[in-house]
A and B are shown apart, each in its own frame.
Chain A
Amino acid sequence: MNVLAAPAKPAGGPGAAEKAGGKTLQRRRGRTGYLLILPGFIFMLLFFVLPVFSLLATSLYTKPPGADIGQFAPALEFGNYAVVLGSYWPELLRSFAFALVATAAALLIGYPMAYLVAVRLRGRKLLQGILLVLIIAPFFTSFILRTQAWKQILADEGPVVPVLRALSLLPADGRLTATAFAVVCGLTYNFLPFMTLPIYANLERLDTRLIEAGSDLYASGFTTFRTVTLPLSMPGVIAGTLLTFIPASGDYVNAALLGNNRDTTMIGQVIDSRFFRVVDYPGAAALSFILMLAILVLVTAYVRRFGTKELI
């Protein structure tokens, strides 16, 4: 190593080295930046950009006459899109509806949690740490296991159903398992940390003196929240809702485990069955592409409407 390194040392003495270093500092910094970006760039190229094109190509394949199951030929069959959209638009809409309700529920649950930890308990580091760990704790167990547990919670003999029946919120023969309610519960629960943590990260930086200024200027607690705290925390709320809504709308585990096969099927399940059971690769690819585009359009509209400079 020493032998190799020695010739690299500048010959003109330390002064000359500094001079040269000063001149190229700017350029070298730029080069370092590109070098640092390179691994991520290569990764994204190999595992995101190329697959997207491969997906697009697959979605346009056709099944040649007399071909075996799972045998397709490259083509530009745009009819695939019309076919899957015609058959599965209810599942697509349902997915977005479920994701929307779950996102709203996660926001209603997650925001107060984030507020409690970030603002009310500010300065109490230990308690904050414990509560943050508790928010992330569900991730320590498997996703499938957590979802399966909701079956038990919502079962007829579980803790929820008898209470709701007693309160007449549920008819005497009403059930929660295998309903849309159960699926939304699962989605809300599983994506709650994705909602809570970005909001926490934002509220942690909230200047509480602004809340004092609000109350000093005749705003009640709620008005201060509505006019000061909430608008200032919008970047966190937007990040949280995106991180919840996007994966929730493509999710198929919650619907598969907690739903039924009549009125809770989500688009993720359809793609799953198109691909693995029906072996309709172009159909599955077209649906995936439609889902991706739909999410892109919805998210763009959402960020345009509520977005802040900090995010875009």
Chain B
Amino acid sequence: MVQDQLTTPPGEAAATGSTGGADLSLVSVTKRFTDFTAVDGLDLTIPAGSFFALLGPSGCGKTTTLRMVAGLEQPTSGKITIGGRDITGTSAHERPVNTVFQNYALFPHMSVLDNVAFGLKRRRVRGAEEQAKAALELVELGHLAARRPGQLSGGQQQRVALARAVVNRPAVLLLDEPLGALDMKLRRQMQVELKKIQTEVGLTFVHVTHDQEEAMTMADTVAVMNGGKVEQMGAPRDLYELPRTAFVANFLGKSNLIAGTVAEDRGDAVVVDAGGHRLAVRKDRAAVHQGPVLVGIRPEKLTMLWPADAPAPEANLLHGRVLDTSFTGVSTEYLVQVPGVGTLGVFCQNHGQQPARPGDDVVLAWDTGHAFGLGGDQDSTAGAAGEDGP
């Protein structure tokens, strides 16, 4: 809860509570195609007015989930409700839901204004044109209302698609990788704008993405999906600081996962034996308290010391040798080979200290409070490929 308050600017909760948006809830929703199960018994509740991200690699079922909410696919089983009303089985045009499509799907034969007014006109809303113009002003494209979509840049088309969805004030607004086609700079800019617009209009946004940074930047709540199921759900900071599965630990940022076995119970912590090293993990940060475990530490939580500066031998010290370094400006990334443990990644802030070189012997230390424990029965590389995603 404390973290929620930190990630949510003050006053926003009050603003979103007063306007549109409705709770969206999926109850054991399953979608089976002929040869595979895309979504497997999914339970989700997305509170009104929140910015919710469905994050996962391609093929994890996030887009299928979105399409089922939009009504473009029907679930094989399960129930979807919006504001308590069961909408399962209704067609897309009957649902109070609008989508910003991945390729924008703007109507090429209509002007930008007609595109934005399309939904309002179908519902015979009075003053559709005026509302559409206002929506275009919201995305700062009022001056391009008469153009055709084909005459706009990618970023402008993206804004038109957003205006076309937002103008209808849907109970739930779905965003299907809406920034995927934009270049990096424009993408960062649109992330900020999307978040701003969501705050202004106070709608429930459900955002599907494979970009973990995008999800963490924009969403109040992130659900990490894998194999048709939600692996873990929570505020971005909670997910990052305390992942509960190896997949989440690797997909959301980078993690060093060290396999070991619980050797000792010290009351508030367990001590894990990993290749002869003793690593402490707080019990409230460990998913299991006995048997095989994976001890996880984020690369930036590791402190790299020269052997001479290392404190007296105790838990949470690993001696290793630098294999590789790469300088990225604000920090230097090291790969350190630790006998009995494997290769660990270390990010060191660039404070102007003397950098280590490949072949140097170093000591890695960390605060026990930063380590986390995962069940040892998982593949420690699960989700790591997500880092290579587009």
Which residues in A have some Cβ–Cβ distance to B below 8 Å? 207, 209-210, 212-220, 223-224, 227-228, 231-232
Chain B nearest Cβ from A103, distance in angstroms: 23
Question: B249 contacts the other chain (Cβ, under 8 Å)?
Answer: no
> Which residues of chain B from 72 to 95 have any CB-CB distance to chain A below 8 Å in the complex?
72, 91-93
CB <8 Å contact, B98 and A216: yes
CB <8 Å contact, A216 and B70: yes
Q: What are the residues of chain A within 8 A of B122 when measuring CB–CB?
A: 217-219, 223
User: Quick one: CB contact mask for B85-122 with A, threshold 8 Å, 1 for yes?
Assistant: 00000011100011101010111110000000011001
Which residues in B have some Cβ–Cβ distance to A below 8 Å? 70-72, 91-93, 97-99, 101, 103, 105-109, 118-119, 122-123, 164, 168
Q: What are the residues of chain B within 8 A of A207 when measuring CB–CB?
A: 105
Q: What are the residues of chain A within 8 A of B92 when measuring CB–CB?
A: 212, 215-216
Q: Within the assembled complex, what's the spacing in Å between the Cα atoms of A74 and B382?
A: 92
B105, B108, B119: the one within 8 Å of A232 (CB): B108
B107, B119, B164: the one within 8 Å of A210 (CB): B107
Chain A nearest Cβ from B106, distance in angstroms: 8
CB <8 Å contact, B109 and A232: yes
Query: What are 19 A-B contacts defined by CB distance under 8 Å?
Result: A209-B101, A209-B105, A213-B105, A213-B107, A214-B93, A215-B91, A216-B71, A216-B92, A217-B93, A217-B118, A217-B119, A217-B122, A219-B122, A223-B93, A223-B122, A224-B93, A227-B118, A228-B107, A231-B109
CB <8 Å contact, B107 and A212: no
The residue in chain B whose Cβ has the minimal distance to the Cβ of A231 is: B109
Instruction: Known A-B contacts: A210-B108, A224-B93. Give 6 more (CB < 8 A).
Output: A212-B101, A213-B107, A214-B93, A216-B72, A218-B119, A227-B118
Q: What are the residues of chain A within 8 A of B108 when measuring CB–CB?
A: 210, 232
CB <8 Å contact, B107 and A215: no
Q: What are the residues of chain A within 8 A of B93 when measuring CB–CB?
A: 214-220, 223-224
Q: What are the residues of chain A within 8 A of B71 when measuring CB–CB?
A: 215-216
Q: What are the residues of chain A within 8 A of B105 when measuring CB–CB?
A: 207, 209-210, 212-213
Q: What are the residues of chain B within 8 A of A224 when measuring CB–CB?
A: 93
Residue of B93, B98, B123 ringed by the most chain A CB atoms within 10 A? B93
Chain B nearest Cβ from A57, distance in angstroms: 46
Residue of A213, A220, A227 ringed by the most chain B CB atoms within 10 A? A213
Chain B nearest Cβ from A299, distance in angstroms: 22
Q: Within the assembled complex, what's the spacing in Å between the Cα atoms of A144 and B122?
A: 49
Q: Within the assembled complex, what's the spacing in Å between the Cα atoms of A209 and B108?
A: 12
The residue in chain B whose Cβ has the minimal distance to the Cβ of A232 is: B109
Q: What are the residues of chain A within 8 A of B101 when measuring CB–CB?
A: 209, 212-213, 216
Q: What are the residues of chain B within 8 A of A217 when measuring CB–CB?
A: 93, 98, 118-119, 122, 164, 168
Q: Within the assembled complex, what's the spacing in Å between the Cα atoms of A292 and B276?
A: 96
Q: Within the assembled complex, what's the spacing in Å between the Cα atoms of A231 and B109?
A: 7
Q: What are the residues of chain A within 8 A of B103 when measuring CB–CB?
A: 209
The residue in chain B whose Cβ has the minimal distance to the Cβ of A211 is: B105
Q: A212-B72, A212-B101 are in contact. Are A218 and B168 (CB under 8 A)?
A: yes
Q: What are the residues of chain B within 8 A of A213 when measuring CB–CB?
A: 99, 101, 105-107
Chain A nearest Cβ from B371, distance in angstroms: 46
Q: Which 3 A-B pairs have the closest CB atoms?
A: A217-B119, A213-B105, A218-B122
Q: Within the assembled complex, what's the spacing in Å between the Cα atoms of A40 and B232?
A: 68
Q: Within the assembled complex, what's the spacing in Å between the Cα atoms of A299 and B93?
A: 38
The residue in chain B whose Cβ has the minimal distance to the Cβ of A228 is: B107
Q: Within the assembled complex, what's the spacing in Å between the Cα atoms of A228 and B119?
A: 13
Chain B nearest Cβ from A308, distance in angstroms: 8
Residue of B91, B98, B118 ringed by the most chain A CB atoms within 10 A? B118
